Amino acid sequence: MASDLLEAPVAAPAPVRPVRPRKRRLTRYALRFVAVAYVAALVAMPVVVVVWRTIDQGASTFWHAITAPDAVHAYQVTAQVAGLAVLINTVFGVGVAILLARYRFPGRSLLNVLIDVPVSISPIIVGLALVLVFGWTTGWFGPALQNAGIEVIFSTPGMVLATAFVALPLVVREVLPVLEEEGIEQEQAARSLGANAWQRLVRITLPTVKWALAYGVVLSVARALGEFGAVRVVSGDVSGQTQTLTLVVDERAEQFEPGAYQLSVVLIAVSAICIVAISLLRPRGEC
């Protein structure tokens, strides 16, 4: 795949001066080798090592590790946190994309910039900031939340917030360009045919962006499942209670307990499924 990408720019432009074919072929092989070696060292080798360690330790170890009570609980926490975060980001993402694409208002460009902040800020800082805002003892809203008996930090709501924060731009950035490209005429036509705002959203806007939306959702799922830093800070990392799968992997690895490789393979498998889903969605989303 990497070599395919590299070939295109070499072969595409017609050279002004004829270059000797042998020289061109050499360049192509060299570039191909560099790219493959780079990706192999950076991505493939670590993954292969993890998978190999897992296989090496045998099927029964694998089975025990992935069915351990802590692990099973972590699946539930992860699914709950990631599911809620992706749901929130999907609704929010479509809403903000429509807002940015269809309306001009003061603060529009500021909003547009803020959407991208989560990409540039380290997740650890996101976690700390959430603690500062929502923590019972330290947070701005802490006392009020404590009086109401609502636990945000060290609990599921905080983990959902942290996960939603880091995955915030993914849906917006997929949906927005499609909305901008398609323009407003289909919605105006639907309006003149009698469709109210809700009918226009369901019958015209959502079908128009459905592939971009699906792509954004899959990206968000992958990002949410893999989130570690922000969730670690806000969850308190309590074993068997507020641990997502990534936190369990971290604990097992740090304490040299068995299971880190095996659970990593589970995460890798889910990522692989996401990547396949993305590559299946992508060409259709582009047409």
Partner 1 sequence: MGIKAVGISKRFGDFVALDDVDLQVETGRLTALLGPSGGGKSTLLRIVGGLEDPDEGTVHIDGVEATGVPAQRRNVGFVFQHYAAFKHLSVFRNVAFGLEIRRRPKAEIRRRVHELLELVHLDQFADRLPSQLSGGQRQRMALARALAVEPKVLLLDEPFGALDTKVRKELRDWLRRLHDDVHVTTVFVTHDQEEALEVSDEIVVINNGRIEQTGSPNDLYDHPANDFVMGFLGPVTRLGERLVRPHDIEVLATDSAGAVPGEVVRLIRIGFEVRAELRTGDSAPWVQLTRGQAEALDLQPGRAVWLRPAHDASTLVAR
Q: Token pair of 271, please? A: 């990522």
195 near partner 1, rule: CB under 8 A:
yes
- The least CB distance from residue 285 to partner 1, in Å, is 13
Buried b (16+ CB within 10 A) or exposed e, 143-169: eebeeeeeebbbbbbbbbbbbbbbbbb
- The least CB distance from residue 234 to partner 1, in Å, is 40
Among 204, 247, 249, 263, binds partner 1 (CB under 8 A): 204
189 near partner 1, rule: CB under 8 A:
yes
Is residue 186 exposed (0-12), middle (13-18) or buried (19+ Cβ within 10 Å)?
middle
- The least CB distance from residue 178 to partner 1, in Å, is 11
- The least CB distance from residue 199 to partner 1, in Å, is 6
Interface region with partner 1, contact rule CB under 8 A, candidates 34-42, 74-82, 199-207, 214-222: 199-207
72 near partner 1, rule: CB under 8 A:
no
137 near partner 1, rule: CB under 8 A:
no
Contacts of 24 (CB under 8 A, 6+ apart): 10
Among 60, 120, 192, 255, binds partner 1 (CB under 8 A): 192
207 near partner 1, rule: CB under 8 A:
yes
- The least CB distance from residue 97 to partner 1, in Å, is 18
Interface region with partner 1, contact rule CB under 8 A, candidates 17-25, 33-41, 70-78, 200-208: 200-208
Is residue 261 exposed (0-12), middle (13-18) or buried (19+ Cβ within 10 Å)?
buried
Site string for partner 1, 141-170 (x = CB under 8 A): ------------------------------
239 near partner 1, rule: CB under 8 A:
no
Which residue is it, tokens 């289909």? Answer: 186
Contacts of 184 (CB under 8 A, 6+ apart): 102
Q: Token pair of 234, please? A: 């806000």
Q: 152 near 143, Cβ under 8 Å?
A: no
Among 99, 128, 190, 277, binds partner 1 (CB under 8 A): 190
Long-range CB pairs of 267-275, under 8 A, 24+ apart, other chains included: 267/225, 267/226, 268/47, 268/50, 268/51, 270/222, 270/225, 271/222, 271/225, 271/226, 274/218, 274/219, 274/221, 274/222, 274/225, 275/222
138 near partner 1, rule: CB under 8 A:
no
Interface region with partner 1, contact rule CB under 8 A, candidates 8-16, 44-52, 206-214, 221-229: 206-214
208 near partner 1, rule: CB under 8 A:
yes
Binding site for partner 1 (CB under 8 A): 185-186, 188-196, 199, 203-204, 207-208, 210
